[in-house]
Structure 1
Amino acid sequence: MLYYALKPIAKLWIRLKFQIEIIGWEHMPNNHAFIIAANHVSNYDPILLSCLLKRKIYFMAKAELFRNRFLHWFFTAVYAIPVDRTSGIVIRPVRKALRVINNGEMFGIFPEGKRCKNGEIVQPKKGVAFLASKTDTPILPISIIGVKKGFRIPVKIVIGSQISVTSFEYSDYSSLSGAIMDRIRELGNSIQ
């Protein structure tokens, strides 16, 4: 309920803050489950992606965001799934993510596992490959370009064609996630 109440406000804020150009809108699926995999350059990324689509998107979020009762309530109400990045124990959030995807919902993930600014390249986490492999769900790669401080900042969101993990020859999750992240980076590099 809160998600849908806040969405018009978030859309207005995003329109005021950024000049958004969407490239590749024709690749956006209409009605089936898929995993959105995007680069992570700012705190605005989940809001930008959520404002793109009518359907709700579940995102993994660092457990630190859930540190008090209000924040726990708020982030749970906007469909964030807490994950403790330091413990190494991710069974509960992974089960929730699998349930979301298997229920035909949209799931968003940032394979890098953290914000990477100024072209920083990190080895992506295995989660995107694991979830896509276990659920046989297509991945929609998205590259977000130009998010920075200020107002009326030009931002490009590049949507690529859906990919399936079966289209790669890699069998291990680490290599698969790396290949998926490479596709996301290629999208950004193709229009810069």
Structure 2
Amino acid sequence: MLYAIVKPIAKLFIHSKFRVEVIGKENIPEHTAFIVAANHSSNYDPILLSCIIKREIHFMAKVELFRNRLCKYFFSEIHAIPIDRQKGIVIRPVRNVLKVLDRGEVFGIFPEGRRCKNGEIIQPKKGVAFFACKTNVPIVPVAIVGVKKGYRTPVKIIIGSKINVNHLNISDYSTLALHVMNKIRELQTNNSESDF
């Protein structure tokens, strides 16, 4: 309920702050579960993805955001899944994500695991590969290009073709996560800020 109320407000904010161009909307599955995997350079990234994809997206969020009752209610209602990044074992969040995908819904993830400055290349986390392999749902790679400070700056969001993990001969989670991240980086490179 709250998600439906917040989303139009978020859209107004995003379109007042950025000039958003979306490429590849036809690559978004309309009715089946999928994982949307994107690069992460800004706090605006989950909001941008939620605004350009019609279906509701579940994201993981740091447990610190759920400390008080009001924040816990708000983030829970917008489908955030709390995760304690300091703990090595995260069984409950993992189960929650698997349930989301088993229900045919959408899960959003940033394989890099943290915000990375433009040009910074790090080894992606295994999560995106783990969830895709466990549920056999496709991964939709997305590149977010051009998020900067200021108002009415141009932002390009490029949605790539879905990746069906069962069609790939990759069983190692690290290798598969890198494959997904490389697809995202290809979308970034082919649609750099110089092309605006």
Interval containing the TM-score (normalised by the shorter chain)? over 0.9
Q: Structure 1 residue 86: deviation in Å? A: 1.2
Matches within 5 A, 1:17-166: 17-166=17-166
Query: Could you tell me the percent identity over the aligned residues?
Result: 62
Q: Tell me the alpha carbon deviations over residues 24-67 of structure 1, each in whole angstroms, 9 at most, x when there is no partner.
A: 12212211111100111111111111111221110011112222
Runs of 4+ in 1 over 3 A off after TM superposition: none
Q: Distance in 1 between matches of 2:121 and 2:64?
A: 23
Q: Which amino acid aligns with 2:34?
A: F
Q: CA deviation at 1:78?
A: 0.5
Corresponding residue number in structure 1 for 2:174: 174
Q: Is the 8 A contact 2:42 2:115 kept in 1?
A: yes
What is the SS of the residue equivalent to 1:81?
strand
How many residue pairs get aligned? The number is 192
- The Cα shift of 1:174 comes to 1.0
Relative to the length of structure 1, the TM-score reads 0.96
Higher mean alpha-carbon deviation, 11-20 vs 64-73, is at 64-73
Give unmatched runs, 5+ long, in structure 2: none
Task: Output the amino acid matched with 2:154.
Answer: P
Measure, in 1, the Cα distance between the counterparts of 2:48 and 2:94: 23
Could you state the TM-score of these two structures normalised by the residue count of structure 2?
Answer: 0.95
C-alpha deviation, 1:69, in angstroms: 1.8
Give SS of 2:161's match. coil
Distance 2:190 2:48 in 1: 20
How big is the shift at 1:117? 1.4
Q: Deviation per CA, 1:43-99, whole angstroms, max 9, x where unpaired?
A: 111111111122111001111222222211111111000111111111100000000
RMSD: 1.0
